[in-house]
Amino acid sequence: MGPNQASLAQLEGFGELDQVAARLTEPVRAQLVAMSPATIDRMRRPTKAARYPAAKSATSPSATLRPSIGVAKDKTLALRERHPEQNT
């Protein structure tokens, strides 16, 4: 029993291949055992990419929120506006 065949048996033992058991025919099993792990990864890449699309940001500043956030362009001006009693 080769290393890939042992790995395949372990995956079956843990139930990892239950969803694809109907498609795991003897010719497919022979191909999997003959492939290197790198080849298997290359063949899985398109399926994996489609299953896990790139994440998009869930939050973005809204138009109503933006004006309520003050941006101090001049530090001294911002301090004067916050503490008018010290401006004498």
Specify if 28 maps to a domain. yes
Q: How many domains does the chain have?
A: 1
Specify if 68 maps to a domain. no
pTM of this structure: 0.46
Angstrom CA distances, 33 to 7, 8, 13, 15, 63, stand at 9, 8, 16, 18, 57
Q: How does pLDDT run across 45-55, given as a tens digit for each residue?
A: 998 888 887 77
Specify if 75 maps to a domain. no
Specify if 33 maps to a domain. yes
Tell me the residue range of the domain where 23 lies. Answer: 3-51
Secondary structure (3-state) at 49: helix
Residue numbers of the chain with a pLDDT score lower than 70: 1-3, 57-88
Instruction: Write the single-letter amino acid at 75.
Output: K
Secondary structure (3-state) at 87: coil
Residues 4 and 32: beta-carbon distance below 8 Å: yes
d(CA 29, CA 5): 9
Q: How does pLDDT run across 20-32, given as a tens digit for each residue?
A: 888 889 998 899 8
Specify if 88 maps to a domain. no
